[in-house]
Chain A
Amino acid sequence: MLKLLARLGENFLYLLETTGRMGMFLGASFASIFRPPYSIYAIVRQIYFFGARSVTVILIVGLFTGMVLGLQGYHNLKQFGSEELLGSAVALSLIQELGPVLTALMVIGRAGSAICAEIGIMRHSEQIDALECMAIDPLKYLVAPKFVAALISLPVLAFIFNIVGIFGGYLAGVVLLGVSEGSYFQGMYNSVEWADIRLCLIKSLIFGVLIVWICTFKGYFLHLSRTGVFGAEGVSRVTTDAVVFASVSILVWDYLIGSLILS
């Protein structure tokens, strides 16, 4: 009985400790963004890794998401005889929800797992300690460019996703199912407001921070993770953890931001 209580307390303390460490990690990383030396080239390389190389997958996912929305929306709206609302239904669901969320999930799968494993292996092979020995701030050198790159890339990817998705909805709704082209686009122009586009922007910025925060944190503190396994198995575990945790947080935060801003 006493043992059980001790276990419970230990778990709670571990939770508090991890939360605190995550907060301090975020604070320190952000502070290091503004500290010289500024390395633009490191950021460009990270944008290439985060953003430019994700474009292909975003294009494919966006196109098919839009087509599915067009297809489903058409059959649902047809029951009420209001197919002309298809354009606004597709555009609003893409811009408000699916664009930022699916982009974030794709980026977690493509880049988030990679940066977690990369930093985890650097920690394991003591490269991070080596950086510290050379008086190079590992947060500044490794983590800060990733934050900046994610803050730039995520909105860009989300907007590409929106445009491609709208085109996908056009393909399915107008070209294949015969909704009139004018009502598809005009309905869209009339119903989408600047507030929706701003919501998309805010969401993707916050998602960008969340992705890099969780994925780099998990890798960076590989040696402190409680599973107690180090080495290859440890890296594989923290990477899995990071991907699951980041994906769940994205969906939770999506709801929180939505309810905060739409209310």
Chain B
Amino acid sequence: MKRTSLEIVVGAFLLAGFISFSWLAVKMGDINPFQSETYPMTARFTSISGLKEGSTIELAGVVVGKVSQIELDAGDYEAVVHLNIDKTIELTDDSIASIRTSGIIGDKFIKLTPGGSDIMLEAGDEIDETESAISLEELVSKYIFESE
């Protein structure tokens, strides 16, 4: 009898640990077994300063994907950003991808603005219309040095 109750306590203990671990892993670690499917897409920017792999992509303020990879095109001196976008979202070929900051000092994210074209982009296509990151410091320094 003693032996059984000890095993029950140990079992409950291990179960509690396993539940805590999986809650952390699924909720925060993005290890989600039920992840919705995505399709890849690329976009070129002249500057992405501050954007990271894993940054979010928003459409109308709703998160619809993540940045999967960032490369430098050494020929054009442009940043090539690979995007993973939710399967359920279809984008027109004149959609605009712009890099924005949440708040003044917040994280960088990509904002998608849909256009009015009839032609839809397919998996692997490139978003042509892009707006690069706006650097507050650059704007301020431009203002200061132009007014001299």
Which residues of A are in contact with B by a Cβ distance under 8 Å?
A: 41, 44-45, 47-48, 51-52, 55, 91, 95, 152-153, 155-157, 159-160, 162-163, 188-190, 192-194, 196-197
Which listed residue (A47, A55, A152, A192) contacts B28, Cβ 8 A? A192
Asked whether A197 lies within 8 Å of B17 as measured between CB atoms, the reply is no
Min C-beta distance of A208 to chain B, whole Å: 13
Say whether B29 contacts A197, CB under 8 Å.
yes
Q: How far is the CA of A194 from the CA of B23 in the complex (A)?
A: 12
Whether the pair B24, A163 counts as a contact (CB closer than 8 A) is yes
A160 to B14, CA, bound (A): 10
Closest chain A CB from B78 CB (angstroms): 28
Smallest CB gap from B7: residue in A: A44
Q: How far is the CA of A55 from the CA of B17 in the complex (A)?
A: 10
- Contact of A156 with B24 in the complex, beta carbons under 8 Å: no
A189 touches B28 (CB 8 A): yes
**CA–CA, A190 and B12, complex, Å:** 30
Chain B residues within 8 Å of A159, by CB:
17, 20-21, 24
Considering only CB atoms, which chain A residue lies closest to B23 in the complex?
A163
Query: Chain A: interface secondary structure?
Result: helix
Are A155 and B21 also in contact (CB < 8 A) when A44-B7, A52-B9 are? yes
* A44-B7, A47-B13, A51-B10 known; A163+B27 contact, CB < 8 A: no
Q: Mark B10-53, 1 if CB is under 8 A from A, else 0.
A: 10111011101101110111110000000000000000000000
Residues of B near any A CB (own CB < 8 A): 3, 6-7, 9-10, 12-14, 16-18, 20-21, 23-25, 27-31, 54, 56
Cβ contact within 8 Å between A194 and B25: yes
Extra pairs beyond A91-B28, A156-B18 (4, CB < 8 Å): A152-B14, A162-B20, A188-B28, A193-B54
Give the distance to chain B from A61, nearest Cβ to Cβ, in Å: 15
Complex CA distance for A11 and B80, rounded to whole angstroms: 62
Q: How far is the CA of A152 from the CA of B25 in the complex (A)?
A: 18
With A45-B6, A194-B29 in contact, do A52 and B21 touch (Cβ < 8 Å)? no
Residue of B nearest to A55 (CB): B13
Interface centre among B20, B28, B54, B56 (most CB of A within 10 A): B28
User: Which residues of B sit under 8 angstroms from A197, Cβ to Cβ?
Assistant: 21, 24-25, 28-29
Residues of A within 8 Å of B23, CB to CB, are: 163
- The docked-state distance in angstroms from the alpha carbon of A55 to that of B18 is 14
Closest to A95 in B: B24
Query: In the bound complex, do residue B17 and residue A48 qualify as a contact, i.e. CB atoms below 8 Å apart?
Result: no
Q: Which of the residues A45, A48, A156 comes within 8 Å of B16, measured between beta carbons?
A: A156
Of B25, B54, B56, most A-chain CB atoms within 10 Å: B25
CA distance A39 to B38 in the complex (A): 48
* Least distance between A263 CB and chain B CB atoms (Å): 17
Of the A-B pairs whose beta carbons lie under 8 Å apart in the complex, a sample of 20, sorted by A's number, is A44-B7, A44-B10, A47-B13, A51-B13, A55-B13, A95-B24, A152-B14, A156-B13, A156-B17, A156-B18, A156-B20, A159-B24, A160-B17, A162-B20, A163-B23, A192-B29, A194-B30, A194-B31, A197-B25, A197-B29
CA distance A47 to B28 in the complex (A): 28
Bound CA span A192–B23, Å: 12
Residues of B within 8 A of A41 (CB): 3
- 8 Å CB contact of B9 from A48, A155, A156: A48
Residues of B within 8 A of A48 (CB): 6, 9-10, 13
- Which of chain B's residues have a CB closer than 8 A to the CB of A47? 10, 13-14
